[in-house]
């Protein structure tokens, strides 16, 4: 049961485009085995083509593979003739070092790119040999200098040799007739896991945001009111805010009391006006089980509290012995 067949002129015919009236105007043959097909337009089953000779040995994989190629080929030309875009949409990583000297951090982010294939590659051909490879379809630019392979993947993935050849490849995974519709969506997107791009764009592009950096970093900082805060900032924003001192967390680093303790000690060693229970002579942090929200046990006031309690505590006594023992960041 196939949805598509070939006409006598080897044109693709979708059963949806046949009615009881026009069905006899042509003869149909199988895309896969070339045997005669009969259109079935009954009222009960979904309309389909079936082999005239029952029990014909026919490969559905071959059918899907050839069908995918033909639909892509014909639809691409149709779009080109009608001036309709046929886009690919992909994502790549960018790395910008604008603030590297200042903060030793690289601003890295993903960016999406979309372009109209037809604009750059107006020509399409079936199984044309390129070096040692024969792509299912070959797209080429006006001067035949640049090209993209289109590969229809039913049972065989594109080979590593092909990928390693650095040729640009778009692989479309077709598992059933429904997937064919994907080809006619006019955008082959990286978001669809049936689409794979190889060698289309370098993985990392060196870029420059000219200071408009957008990657967000986790920052622990001492604000102008001498409070320790934790927030997300772009590298640009760090310089724009009134911050006494800061520490930019690494990708895998988590904000916790140990980090806050090290940061407080760093501020204190720089003689910044900081108050934090981690630096107070009355904290007994290490003697108690750590509670994330209240990691401090105050032996003077006899309670557990958050390390920022010190900001408003009148009993705070900064202990330099403690501070000197703390590793700083
Ligand atoms: S609550 Fe006050 S006295 Fe207790 S550790 Fe914190 S700052 Fe020190
Ligand atoms: Zn067949
Ligand atoms: Zn940047």
* Average pLDDT per block of 10 residues along the chain, 329 residues long: 93 90 84 95 91 92 97 97 96 90 91 93 93 95 94 94 94 96 95 94 77 92 93 92 92 91 94 94 72 86 92 94 87
pLDDT of residue 277: 94
For residue 232, report the distance from its CA to the centre of ligand 3, in Å. 15
Ligand 2 centre distance from Cα of residue 172 (Å):
22
pLDDT for 289:
61
> So what's the pLDDT on residue 328?
76
- Cα 235 to ligand 3 centre (Å): 8
Expressed in percent and rounded to 5, the helix, strand and coil fractions of the chain are 25, 30, 45
Distance separating alpha carbons of residues 40 and 97, to the nearest angstrom: 64
Q: Among 313, 314, 318, which residue has the most ligand 1 atoms within 8 Å of its CB, making it the best to mutate?
A: 313
**Where are the domains positioned within the chain?**
4-58, 68-206, 216-325
Question: Is there a contact between 221 and 243 (Cβ–Cβ < 8 Å)?
Answer: yes
DSSP string, 7-36: -TTS-EEEGGG--TTTGGGS-EE-TTT--E
Comparing CA positions, the residue from 288, 260, 276 lying closest to residue 319 is: 276
- Counting ligands in written order, which one lies closest to the CA of residue 4? 2
Q: Which of 316, 317, 319, 322 to mutate to test the pocket of ligand 1 (most atoms within 8 A of CB)?
A: 316
Cα dist. 236→103, 181, 212, 296, 324 in Å? 10, 45, 7, 34, 33
Atom of ligand 1 nearest to the CA of 277: 6
Residue nearest (by alpha carbon) to ligand 1 atom 4:
298
State residue 293's pLDDT score.
80
Distance 46 CA to ligand 2 centre (A): 18
Pocket of ligand 1 (CB under 6 A): 277, 280, 282-283, 296, 298, 300-301, 305, 309-310, 313, 315-316
Burial-class residue 265 by CB neighbours within 10 Å (0-12, 13-18, 19+).
Answer: buried
Q: What is the DSSP letter of 280?
A: B
Identify the nearest ligand to the CA of 284 by its number.
1
CA of 327 to the centre of ligand 1 (A): 21
């Amino acid at each position: 049961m196939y949805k598509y067949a070939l006409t006598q002129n080897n044109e693709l015919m979708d059963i949806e485009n046949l009615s009881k009236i026009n069905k006899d105007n042509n003869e149909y043959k199988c895309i896969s085995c070339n045997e005669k097909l009969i259109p079935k337009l009954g009222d009960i089953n979904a309309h389909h083509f079936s082999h005239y000779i029952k029990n014909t040995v026919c490969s559905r994989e071959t059918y899907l593979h050839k069908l995918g190629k033909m639909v892509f080929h014909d639809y691409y030309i149709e779009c080109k003739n009608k001036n309709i875009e046929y886009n690919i949409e992909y994502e790549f990583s960018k790395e910008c070092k604008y603030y590297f000297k200042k903060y030793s951090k690289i601003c890295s982010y993903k960016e999406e790119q979309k372009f109209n294939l037809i604009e750059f590659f107006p020509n399409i051909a079936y199984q044309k040999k390129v070096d040692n490879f024969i792509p299912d379809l070959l797209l080429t630019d006006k001067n035949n200098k640049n090209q993209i392979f289109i590969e229809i993947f039913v049972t065989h993935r594109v080979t590593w040799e092909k990928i390693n050849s650095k040729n640009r490849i778009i692989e479309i995974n077709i598992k059933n007739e429904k997937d064919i519709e994907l080809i006619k969506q006019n955008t082959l997107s990286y978001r669809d896991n049936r689409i794979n791009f190889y060698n289309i764009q370098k993985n990392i592009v060196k870029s420059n945001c000219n200071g408009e950096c957008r990657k967000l970093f986790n920052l622990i900082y001492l604000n102008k009111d001498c409070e320790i805060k934790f927030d997300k900032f772009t590298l640009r924003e760090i310089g724009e805010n009134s911050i006494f001192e800061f520490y930019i967390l690494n990708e895998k680093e988590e904000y916790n009391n140990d980090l806050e303790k090290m940061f407080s000690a760093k501020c204190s060693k720089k003689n910044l006006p900081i108050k934090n229970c981690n630096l107070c002579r009355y904290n007994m942090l290490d003697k108690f089980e750590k509670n994330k929200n209240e990691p401090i046990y105050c032996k003077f006031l006899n309670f557990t509290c958050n390390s920022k309690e010190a900001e408003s505590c009148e009993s705070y006594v900064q202990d330099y012995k403690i501070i000197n023992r703390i590793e700083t960041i």
